Structure 1
Amino acid sequence: MKLTNYTDYSLRVLIFLAAKKEGELSTIQEIADIYQISKNHLMKIIHHLGQLGYIETIRGRNGGIRLGKAPRDINIGEVVSKTEEDFYIVECFKDGKSDCIISPACKLKHALFEALQAFMKVLDEYTLEDLVYNQEDFEKIRLTFMKE
């Protein structure tokens, strides 16, 4: 299974914000520059993460974005579930309708469904706090990038 870029970038934004000092604001431009992501695409992601309550946006001249919840309260499996467009690994997953002629005799759908459940179960065991463990190194990387 491959996650979409949307989910990948959503997770990266959350990790970036979690690695900052508590309450410290970041800007969309800063994150776009560091990850080399389109600012326009990132704005959509930030908006969605804000709607989901994962981040908080502060308007105004000194505004920015920061986590809307403590990292320990952000479950990675939940984030993936809410940012992935679909989990249709193969054609026969779509709405119970399949054009595949072997579907009635095939157990591939069942096996892939079990694999997907196992994948999500593992992600459900992690929080954002689990993914951010060395804030000092992260800050060095961020500062080095900002100087360039």
Structure 2
Amino acid sequence: MCVNIMQITVTDLDRHTYEMGLPVTKKTNVEHKFNFIQSPALSSLDELLNDNDNRGSFDFAFIDADKVSYQKYHERMLELVKVGGIIVYDNRLWFGTVAMPEECVREAMKPNRHHIIEFNNFLAADTRIQISQVPLGDGITICWRL
């Protein structure tokens, strides 16, 4: 017997972003597996954590949100993602600026660059996960929940 129970929870402030992908999900007949939450990410994660059944129930999470709050997302995701699950963070190389000397970085890139470097260092020291930095696109960090 094969059981496939998969639910995908999507959180975004902009419903239009979610709706852009709807034609594909409808065409592949998986639209019913998506749970869209139109809300700020931290609020929706807190709401998910209010239901104890959600704690440790997620297999995978992909975070691409405001860079200032990545550490807050991380703490919440550690409660939601099961041991052995995967958390992926986007934009970890920030257009390569994380490896550049400060004086070579454009002013507009500096505020997020600082937060990204700080979060990258935090992840590297976090004993609750193992990480792999992948230089794909703008860089992703894959975290295996221990």
TM-score past 0.5 threshold: no
Specify the TM-score bucket, using the shorter chain as the normaliser.
under 0.3
**Please, what TM-score do these two structures have when normalized by structure 2?**
0.21
Q: Which has the higher strand share?
A: 2
Structure of higher CA gyration radius: 1
Q: Which has the higher helix share?
A: 1
Q: Which has the higher contact order (CA 8 A, sep 6+)?
A: 1
**Please, what TM-score do these two structures have when normalized by structure 1?**
0.21
